[in-house]
Amino acid sequence: MIQVEHLTKRYPGRTAVDDVSFSVGRGEVVGFLGPNGAGKSTTMRILTSYLPATAGRVTVAGHDVFADSLKARREIGYMPENVPLYDDFRVKEYLHFRARLKGLRGRDCRQRVGEVMDLCGLTDMRKKMIGTLSKGYRQRVGLADALVHRPQLLILDEPTNGLDPNQIRQVRELIRHLGEKHTILLSTHILTEVEATCGRVIIIDHGKIKASDTPEVLQQRLRTAGAIEFEARAPVDDVAAAVRALPQVRRVLSDPMEEGWHRFIVRVDTGSDPREEIAALIAAHGWPLREFIRKQASLEDVFVELTQNQ
């Protein structure tokens, strides 16, 4: 569905996207992640023909986004982070207006507007002025707009930005449902959202692709693939030095707690489990212990590992 080959975008004094190549297959739901300034928004704007590229080639549904822009854009539903809406339109009027701009006419236009209002939970809001809507409903209108012309590909940039937890859950369920019929490229900072909805993750940093795989495989490949956490009442420097001396341990972090207790977070190598060695050290020094657990790596750990200190 999406084929990106050696994509580069340069601005005066900096390179926003640096020789990026990736693909998204038909029917995939892919998370597109990166820290602020990594190049993900620039890449998404190039995919939607909003920005030209300095070099490279991009095709959407077989159409070159530079040489055959109109045909490519007919296959794309784009929802930007800050959805631009006309506040003095009613919801139904606005969606009819947008549908006509995208080529729908007559009965098909009316039918499709009704379908997307129902799909996005806007039927009860159809007569409301957009300017009176909450942030959550404005996001729904933006999503309905992206869907109204029946695109094969949805590109969603921070679709849950500014929503409360209940609204985030509702939009997440909607995206999961849309993934049954559409190819979706999803950009978000909420990594639990990616884990819940995406079958594959692409991580970009400093304009380059750092990883592309399923969340599970990325977690397994992570250098510091998990953590051991424990609470002990002991001198921080003594505990950190003793635990850090173990060969499987990469890093030891600590947080102070009450009455001399500290929580220690021990990052360890992939496939290693030095809990017995750490427990033996604690027992040998006679440090009081009240909690001891192992935590598997999360997608957040993967993201931090791949993008920090770059």
Answer yes or no: is pLDDT of 222 > 70: no
Q: What is the C-alpha to C-alpha distance for residues 81 and 172, in angstroms, rounded to an integer? A: 15
Answer yes or no: is pLDDT of 207 > 60: yes
* First-last CA distance in the chain: 31
Residue type, 4: V
Average pLDDT rounded to a whole number, residues 148-177: 87
Beta-carbon contacts of 48 under 8 Å, excluding residues fewer than 6 positions away, are 65, 73, 76, 78, 155
Q: Is 67 helix (H, G, I), strand (E, B) or coil?
A: coil
* pLDDT band (50, 70, 90) for residue 268: confident
Answer yes or no: is pLDDT of 219 > 80: no
Please determine, looking at this structure, whether the domain spanning 2-220 carries the CATH number 3.40.50.360.
no
Mean pLDDT of the chain, nearest integer: 89
- Tokens coding 46: 């190039």
Q: What is the C-alpha to C-alpha distance for residues 59 and 201, in angstroms, rounded to an integer? A: 20
Average pLDDT rounded to a whole number, residues 255-274: 87
What is the pTM for the complete model shown?
Answer: 0.78
Q: Is 230 helix (H, G, I), strand (E, B) or coil?
A: strand
Beta-carbon contacts of 218 under 8 Å, excluding residues fewer than 6 positions away, are 201, 203, 211, 299, 302
Answer yes or no: is pLDDT of 310 > 60: no
Domain ranges of the chain: 2-220, 223-307
C-alpha distances out from residue 200 to 27, 85, 106, 134, 170, Å: 12, 31, 39, 31, 21
Q: What are phi and psi of 19, to 5 degrees?
A: 55, 55
* pLDDT band (50, 70, 90) for residue 223: low
Under DSSP, the state recorded for 68 is S
C-alpha distances out from residue 74 to 49, 69, 77, 133, 300, Å: 11, 9, 8, 28, 35
Give the model confidence (pLDDT) of 8-48 as tens digits.
Answer: 999 999 999 999 999 999 999 999 998 888 898 899 999 99
Top pLDDT among 67 and 273 is at 67
The single residue listed with the structure tokens 């990616």 is: 194
Q: What pLDDT does residue 221 have?
A: 65
Which CATH class, in words, describes the domain spanning 223-307?
alpha beta
| Residue 60 and residue 70 in contact, taking contact as beta carbons nearer than 8 Å | no
β 261-268/226-233 pair status? antiparallel
Average pLDDT rounded to a whole number, residues 166-176: 84
Under DSSP, the state recorded for 153 is E
| Residue 206 and residue 35 in contact, taking contact as beta carbons nearer than 8 Å | no
* pLDDT band (50, 70, 90) for residue 309: low
Task: Kindly compute the dihedral angle of the four CA atoms of residues 39, 42, 46, 52, in this order, to the nearest 10 degrees.
Answer: -110
Answer yes or no: is pLDDT of 224 > 70: no
Residue type, 265: I
Domains 2-220 and 223-307 share a fold: no
